[in-house]
Amino acid sequence: MHLSTFPLRLAVATAVIYCASSTNVAAQDHIPVQQARVQQAVDDLTARLGIADAVHVSIVPANRLLMSVEPSEHTFELKVEDGWADTLDDSELTAAVAHELGHVWIFTHHPFLQTEQLANEVAMRLVSPKVLAQLYDKVWTRTNVRGDLARFLGPEVARGLASPEASPDAPSTQIP
């Protein structure tokens, strides 16, 4: 009886070491997983926005803006802070990518009109203002800086979000 506990203890110790090392491997593997998820969203949305330029996603250790896009020769580089995409559900990720592709669209059509509001106008061809507002909330919570939604989405859209009656998916209480 006494001897039989020895192999069991050994097995437990081995299992602990195995788990610790497999967690490490999973953390390293996670960068390509994030990259692939964001790249998939980019590829879907570039097609829908009619953007012909290649947009490459890279996961970077830190990005002050969490996600940002930069032009490089004939392509664009979308840099995403490691871990940021994991905090977003699929609709928020779509909204975030649509916003960045809004900047790409402006770069290729009206390079001198680059503004946050215009990037969102392009994004809102594909995503609802409600999800964009939800995304800004997450960005501002994470960066600890609160912005003015009206400046980002335009005063009319922000007003619409502030009054539930004006929201297209809220039940209408108005008599036609």
DSSP state, residue 154: -
- CB of 40 vs Zn ion, minimal distance in Å: 21
Q: Which is nearer to Zn ion, 82 or 116 (CB)?
A: 116
Give ∠ CA 72-77-82 in degrees, rounded to 5.
150
Least Cβ distance, residue 25 to Zn ion (angstroms): 35
- Please report, as ranges, the residues that interact with Zn ion according to CB under 5 A: 116, 119
Task: Output 59 or 122, the one with its CB closest to Zn ion.
Answer: 122
The greatest distance separating any two alpha carbons of the chain, rounded to the nearest whole angstrom, comes to 84
Q: Is 83 left (phi over 0), alpha (psi -120 to 50) or beta?
A: left
Rounded to whole angstroms, what are the CA distances from 111 to 53, 72, 103, 155?
A: 15, 14, 9, 23
Nearer CB in complex with Zn ion: 33/65 = 65
Nearest residue (CB) to Zn ion, 31 versus 150: 150
Q: Tokens in use for 2?
A: 């006494």
Asked whether the beta carbons of 132 and 153 are under 8 A apart, the reply is yes
CB of 9 to Zn ion, least distance (A): 56
| Closest separation in Å from C-beta 119 to Zn ion | 5
